[in-house]
Each structure stands twice: as structure tokens, then as C-alpha cells.
Amino acid sequence: MKKNYQHRTIRWGIIGLGKIADKFATDLATIADAELYAVASRQQEKADAFAKKHKATVAYDKYDALVNDSKVDAVYIGTPHALHKENTLMCLEKGIAVLCEKPFAMNSSEVENMIAIAKANNTLLMEALWTYFLPHYRYVLQLIKDKTYGEVKSLKADFGFQRPYDTDTRLFNKDLGGGSLLDIGIYPIFASLSSLGIPNQIEASATFFENGTDSTCDMIFSYDNNITSQLKSSLVEDLPTQAIFECDKATIKINTQFHAPSTVTIIIDGKEEIKDFNYNTIGYNFETIHFNNLLREGKTESDIMTFDFSRNLINTLDRVRKLIKLEY
């Protein structure tokens, strides 16, 4: 029997207590009709510290202990990429709604398996790509959809930062899905898919660290009417991390950290107008509120971050990986 969430607080659990989970928990506390009930790590000490910081009711040292807690309504999965499928299925098979951090899984086969299990269990599942729900990004997508400044002629989007090479960290660990493409290259790719759709053709090249993880990835997506997206990710260079749409009548620029709460600059005939969205949270609350609403409405799929969009995203990542010969 499905739970009724209409008139009560939704009790969240978090599996995997890294940096993103910390940000997610911080913003969860700003949502009136939701609470952080349980957290799980593989180390009790880490779980206890996280629970204390974010005022969770219980802290577990095993993921399955959290999943078997009948008071948990929804789970946010913040484990490394390679564990997303396993952790998601663990929850879905118990009928627990899942918000799984991007990338949804390691490849399209895993994603299809997750979606199939969600449907079989009639349970809500959504990929947590927070950018899709941020007001500034929704604003830009609406401008493009409405053709406010005409057609988009090109997109340039990048995401890059420099980090010391350290294979002990998740970011550079190939076994955990580390590297620039899956971790941050997904955002420029997302920008192109969400605004222009699936490309007709993809060109891609990459450089690699000595352990086989990709250090940089350069991509060109080609569409009809000579429309192109020039995309880049890097773990060895600080990039502007902007998304710039050249349109017939204006340039729409999502400023630095385009994937996170940011501002938008509209440039017409050399004159700039900056749109400020007055964010007062980290930004994870927007996807969580959407997810909570889906749960309350008895929905099992998002109308924004749809299964088809998640499929297109992972299929595109797979296409790029094949071109750059990146295998996991």
C-alpha cells in the first residue's frame, strides 16, 4: 500500500555523505514540509558527525539499514557514480522514492535497468540534475523556447577547474567513474541537450591522466541549419564555466558557474542587461521541492527531468565516451 504524503512532512534519507550531500542537506533544512530523518555512511563516525551537523534523527553505518527503516519516505543518493545503480535499486525494491545524483549511472544499460525497476515497483525515480530546476536556467530555456531573440545560432559552454592529481580521491578514481566527462562534462552536454536537443553529429577528443581517467574533453555537437555547440570539460584548467547562446537578435550569457545559482546577461547591440535572481540558498532546494511535489501527487516520473531526458543524456555521454575511447 502506497504512503499518503498529502498532509505531513516528508522524511528524507541520504546515502553517501560527501560534499554534494552536505549541500543537499543544508538546503533541505530550508524546506518547511520536509526533514532530514536518516543518513548512512560506511563509517559510523562519519554518519554521526553528518547527522549532528544537519540534525538528522538517526545515523547508520550500513546503507541497507537506512533502506530497511520504514520511516524513510525518500532517499537522496550521493555516492560515487559507479554505485548509483546498486544503491538506487536497493531503495526501489523497497518502494522508496529515489532522487539519484547525476550522472544517473555509468551507462545507458544501467539507466534502463533503473527505470525498469522503478516502473515495476510503481515508485518515483528522478535523476538529480539540479541545474534544470534553477530559476535562472528555467528563464533562459523559456527565452529560447519562445524565440524571444530569434533562433539560437550557436552555444559555447564549458566547465573546468584545476585540482591536484590524487587517485585516492573520487574525482580521479576510474573505478568510481572519476574524470572530467562524467563529473563535470555532463553540465555543458546538459546545456546543449536541454536547449537544442539531440545532436545529429558529435566530434570529441580528450586527454588522459596516467591511470586512464580523462583530464579534459572537447566536444562539438552539430545540429540542423549549421547550429553548433562547442563544449569543454577540464580538471587541469580553470575555465569560465559559462554558457553563451548566440541568437539572431542577442547574446544570452549565463555567467560564471552557469550550472549553479548565477546571473544572466542579455547583450543587444553591445548593451548589457544583467538579470539577478536573488538566490538565498545553495540551490538544491528547487529540485527537492519539485521532487516532494511529485511524491505528494503520486507521480512516479518527473515532467521536467523525464526518463527520456535522462536516457538522452546518458546515451550522449556514451557516444562521447566511445569517440574518446574511454572505457570503465
pLDDT band at 166 (very low <50, low <70, confident <90, very high): very high
* Residue whose C-alpha is closest to residue 101's, from 116, 71, 81, 74: 81
DSSP 189-205: HHHHHHHH-S-SEEEEE
DSSP 300-328: SS-SSS-HHHHHHHHHHHHHHHHHHT---
Domains 10-130+291-299 and 135-282 share a fold: no
- Amino acid 271: pLDDT: 98
Q: Provide the 10 A C-beta neighbour count for residue 120.
A: 10
Instruction: Work out the widest C-alpha separation in the chain, in whole angstroms.
Output: 60
pLDDT band at 1 (very low <50, low <70, confident <90, very high): low
- Amino acid 6: pLDDT: 76
Coil/strand/helix, residue 162: strand
DSSP label at 51? H
Could you read off the pLDDT of 237-295 as tens digits, one per residue?
999 999 999 999 999 999 999 999 999 999 999 999 999 999 999 999 999 999 999 99
pLDDT at residue 123 is higher than 70: yes
Unique residue bearing C-alpha cell 587541469 = 236
pTM assigned to the model: 0.96
* Mean of pLDDT over the chain: 97
Distance CA 242, CA 252 (A): 11
* Residue whose C-alpha is closest to residue 290's, from 29, 4, 34, 20: 34
Write down the domain spans for the chain. Answer: 10-130+291-299, 135-282
152-160, strands of its sheet edge to edge: 201-208, 214-222, 228-234, 152-160, 243-247, 251-254, 264-268, 271-275
Percent with pLDDT over 90 in the chain: 96
Rounded mean pLDDT, 223-250: 98
10-15, strands of its sheet edge to edge: 58-60, 34-40, 10-15, 74-77, 97-101, 125-128
**Tally of CA atoms within 13 A in the half-sphere of 240 that contains its CB:** 10
- Amino acid 219: pLDDT: 98
- Amino acid 328: pLDDT: 86
- Amino acid 162: pLDDT: 95
- Does the domain at residues 10-130+291-299 carry the CATH identifier 3.40.50.720? yes
**Cell for 262?**
548565477
* Residue whose C-alpha is closest to residue 183's, from 82, 277, 282: 82
Distance CA 11, CA 27 (A): 14
Beta strands (DSSP E) in the chain are 10-15, 34-40, 58-60, 74-77, 97-101, 125-128, 152-160, 201-208, 214-222, 228-234, 243-247, 251-254, 264-268, 271-275
Rounded mean pLDDT, 44-69: 98
pLDDT band at 51 (very low <50, low <70, confident <90, very high): very high
Would you identify the CATH topology of the domain 135-282? Dihydrodipicolinate Reductase; domain 2 (3.30.360)
